[in-house]
Amino acid sequence: MRQAGVTSLFAILVTVAGVASAADSAAVNAVWVDKDLAFTYMGFTSHYSCGGIQDKVAYVMKQLGARPGFKVTTSGCVNMNGPEIMPRVRVRAALPRAATPEVLAELARERSTRELAARAQGNKPAAAAAEATVQFPATWRTVTFEGTPSSEVQDGDCELMEQLMRQVLLPMGVREVNGSRLNCVPHQLPLNAVNLQLQVLAAQKVPPAQR
């Protein structure tokens, strides 16, 4: 009886895992959500030039599928090419978000801001507002950043990834997978300090017959 109970419990766990996996791969209606976020990088272990940190953050945003045309800029730079103490990083980018009532309400509240920006750029405000709420099918995908010597994101980038997650990625709707981790230790470089597994929505390619 005990063995049968264990077997049944295992079967239930496998079934639940399968349902969760299927739910993650199911298509959802999504919209592009623009964010303008900034943070001041403060690291104990690694320091970057303004160009270096800008390129690193831009790489991460591209891997996560930010809409083309996103901007990563830096300010507060004193050295021309050398490492900075506290560079400020600004990210203006859009990622797909599930078109939930909360997200659609957020877009509605920001409509006046988008219309003013469209007028300033010589675009039609109504067209800009309509474009911001266009829905499309999207599915969740997993993006992994491992701190290996051959990767663009290394263990020495642990503090940067930690601050980027907290200040930019989580507010943009990026999800962290169970088991993902950052092990940042000030003034040290632990092996496997960066093992981030992130989930983001990606737009599905629509078959020609459905366009």
pLDDT(44) > 90? yes
Can you give the pLDDT at residue 118?
Answer: 63
Can you give the pLDDT at residue 12?
Answer: 38
92-138 pLDDT, tens digit each: 999 999 999 999 998 888 876 766 666 776 765 555 455 667 999 99
Can you give the pLDDT at residue 131?
Answer: 64
Q: How far apart are CA 85 and CA 43, in angstroms?
A: 8
User: Highest mean pLDDT range out of 2-6, 15-19, 123-127, 148-152?
Assistant: 148-152
Q: Phi and psi of 83, rounded to 5°?
A: -65, 145
Handedness of CA 202, 95, 162, 176 (dihedral sign): negative
Can you give the pLDDT at residue 110?
Answer: 82
Residue ranges of the domains in the chain? 102-134
- Stretch (H or E) spanning 142: strand 136-146
